[in-house]
């Protein structure tokens, strides 16, 4: 049973517009949510995280919104740039206690078209 779900395998957006990537989760006990970006032939790189006690976290062009009641989070990228084209993974974890790895979704491939 997948605990973290990214139901859109791909998304295409025009350069300069907003990209919205969605993620749903099933376990209400998750304490943190993270977004990673992955280019081909490279490992995932950390983008931004949010604690379950927050509903928004912003870092430059990237904002993550969390709706706990809906068990849903989204990553907004504004404005989108061609270099943002990559696979984006949503991940979740419990409060770290020495035994809490990240649980990943399947990823969404973002294509930003110039």
Partner 1 sequence: EAEVAQSPRYKITEKSQAVAFWCDPISGHATLYWYRQILGQGPELLVQFQDESVVDDSQLPKDRFSAERLKGVDSTLKIQPAELGDSAMYLCASSLGLANSGANVLTFGAGSRLTVL
Catalog residues that contact partner 1 under the rule CB under 8 A: 4, 6, 9, 32, 34, 36, 41-46, 49, 51, 89, 91, 93, 95-107
In the bound complex, what is the minimum distance in angstroms from residue 15's beta carbon to partner 1? 26
> What are the residues whose beta carbons fall under 8 Å from the beta carbon of 96, sequence distance 6 or more?
none
Other beta carbons within 10 Å of 112:
21
> What are the residues whose beta carbons fall under 8 Å from the beta carbon of 39, sequence distance 6 or more?
86, 87
Q: Which is nearer to partner 1, 1 or 42 (CB)?
A: 42
* Nearest one of 61, 47, 60 to 107, comparing CA atoms: 47
In the bound complex, what is the minimum distance in angstroms from residue 17's beta carbon to partner 1? 26
Q: Which is nearer to partner 1, 10 or 14 (CB)?
A: 10
In the bound complex, what is the minimum distance in angstroms from residue 43's beta carbon to partner 1? 3
Q: Which is nearer to partner 1, 12 or 51 (CB)?
A: 51
Cβ atoms 56, 74 nearer than 8 A: no
């Amino acid at each position: 049973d997948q605990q973290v779900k990214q139901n859109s395998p791909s998304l295409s957006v025009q350069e300069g517009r907003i990209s919205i990537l969605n993620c749903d989760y099933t376990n209400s006990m998750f304490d943190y949510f993270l977004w990673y970006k992955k280019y081909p032939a490279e490992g995932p790189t950390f983008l931004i995280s949010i604690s379950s006690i927050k509903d928004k976290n912003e870092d430059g062009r990237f904002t993550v919104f969390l709706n706990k009641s809906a068990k849903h989070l989204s990553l907004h990228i504004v404005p989108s740039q061609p270099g943002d084209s990559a696979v984006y993974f949503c991940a979740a974890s419990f409060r770290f206690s020495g035994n809490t790895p990240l649980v990943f979704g399947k990823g969404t491939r973002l294509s930003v078209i110039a």
